[in-house]
Amino acid sequence: MRALVVTAVAAEADSVLAGLAGPVPHPDPGPGPRTLPGGYQVTRRDLPGIALDVLVGGVGPAAAAAATATALALGEYTLVVSAGIGGGFAPAAPLGSLVVADAIVAADLGAQTPEGFVDVGALGFGRAVHLPPAELAARAAEATGALLAPVLTVSTVTGTAERAGELSARHPLAGAEAMEGFGVAEAAAGHGLPVLEVRAVSNAVGPRDRDAWRIGDALTALTAGFRVLGPVLANWGERHEHAHR
């Protein structure tokens, strides 16, 4: 099995790679990063039963979709994973916790109307939600101790209580918001591949307060999560392939 893990920035990729190296870094962690067309950096890790390519794709849904599509066009993959840090909806997703998506939602792609926001799916111009494989998402959440909940993709990070309240009203079960998941999922769907999203919470969704952010704690949680995710992904991939033979 081969999986593509898409992050936005190098710090997230480094945290994922640290987790894939195990609790004690291996003296030979594998091949160094290589550069894909477009300048995208990708680094491979080989674990028992699975190879993972960790890609730095850029910030936002458009950049993430472009990077993911480029990588998928150049390699054979079984699964795509969007991974990184994001905001958590309190109190369900506190700082330093993990959220695994049971739905990847385009939360601000659509139209504002006098009656409120209408998403792109309701407008008839595509879809607004991607659903990861339910069994895989549940197993990933259980193994990592993560909250299993929808993750919202936004192009503008929430910075006010009003905006947080609006999102919570439209998506009362949401666990986190981030900027890349839906773009990654769109590219994966275009190649007929399943997608998973894993977010470590660095800040609360609400009024923007950089002093309260805990980016280091979130990156540490991301590393810890990927220490146990490798076997989960490999086991699911093996069973998935057997089921389709």
Q: pTM of the prediction?
A: 0.91
Six-digit token string for 4: 């593509």
Q: In this model, does residue 245 exceed pLDDT 60?
A: no
Query: So where are the chain's domains?
Result: 2-243
- pLDDT for the residue numbered 27: 47
In this structure, what are the phi and psi dihedrals at residue 177, rounded to the nearest 5 degrees? -125, 145
Evaluate whether 15 touches 224 at the Cβ level (below 8 Å): no
Cα–Cα distance measured from residue 51 to residue 4, given in angstroms and rounded to the nearest whole number: 9
Q: Which amino acid is at 171?
A: H
199 to each of 7, 21, 49, 205, 221, how far by Cα in Å? 10, 19, 24, 13, 9
CA 145 to chain centre: 16
2-243 CATH, one of 1.10.10.10, 3.40.50.10170, 3.40.50.1580, 3.40.50.720 = 3.40.50.1580
Q: Which residues pair with 46 in a beta bridge?
A: 51
Q: Using the 8-state DSSP alphabet, how is residue 182 labeled?
A: H
**pLDDT, tens digit, for every residue of 209-240?**
888 889 999 999 999 999 999 899 988 877 66
Q: In this model, does residue 23 exceed pLDDT 70?
A: no
Q: In this model, does residue 48 exceed pLDDT 90?
A: no
Residue partners of 222: CB distance under 8 A and separation at least 6: 12, 15, 16, 19, 83, 84, 85, 98, 198, 200
Q: In this model, does residue 73 exceed pLDDT 80?
A: yes
Cα–Cα distance measured from residue 42 to residue 139, given in angstroms and rounded to the nearest whole number: 26
Cα–Cα distance measured from residue 136 to residue 32, given in angstroms and rounded to the nearest whole number: 29
Q: In this model, does residue 55 exceed pLDDT 70?
A: yes
